[in-house]
Structure 1
């Protein structure tokens, strides 16, 4: 697991390509990241399924209740099949753009 912080956003990258152990580590260290927007970078794992992504749903819900963004980056997946409760994008650039838009919405009171 590699963690990179830029401003109000933390990018957490899976380096082992094991979704379950990665999710466990992120969950254990969640208190460290809870005051930041989170980008979960799974773009290096090409064997991901929609079922794997759904494992992040409880963490995403908790983070969104705290009025922070939670975005998952996945490169090879059918984005139409993914639950609309998860925010999944194909690149880090798009993840940062989504977070910026959500920050503006929160600042405006939406």
Structure 2
């Protein structure tokens, strides 16, 4: 797991561990980036299904309840198979755009 920061955004890139290992590691290290928006970049993982992405649901909901964005970057997924609570986009640029849009919504009180 690689963690980079871009302003108030923590970008977490996973290269070779399983999704379950990544979620456990995120939960352990969560205090380190709980006040940042989070992008989980998963495009380097070869085999990944929608059921794997659902593993992020608990930590995503918790983070979003604390008024921060949690965006997963993964292409080649059927978004209809994912819960509406998860924000999944195909590119890193779209993740940044989504965070910017959610920041504006929070500023407006939505």
Q: TM-score, normalised by structure 2?
A: 0.95
Task: State the partner residue of 1:95.
Answer: 95
Moved over 2 A (4+): none
Partner of 2:25: 25
Q: CA deviation at 1:41?
A: 0.6
Which has a greater percent of helix? 2
Contact 1:71–1:87 (CA<8 Å) still a contact in 2? yes
Gaps of 5+ in 2: none
Mapping of 1:16-95 within 5 angstroms?
A: 16-95=16-95
Paired with 2:101 and 2:58, the residues of 1 have a C-alpha distance of 23
Note if contact 1:4-1:11 (Cα within 8 Å) is conserved in structure 2.
yes
Q: Report the TM-score, using the length of structure 1 for normalisation.
A: 0.95
In the TM superposition, residue 109 of structure 1 has moved relative to its aligned partner by 1.1
- Give, in whole Å, the separation in 2 of the partners of 1:75 and 1:6: 22
Mark the runs of 5 or more structure 1 residues left unpaired by the alignment: none
> For this pair of structures, how many residues does the alignment match?
110
Structure 2 residue 11 is matched with structure 1 residue 14: no
**1:13 positional shift:** 0.4
Is 1:57–1:85's contact at 8 Å kept on the other side of the alignment? yes
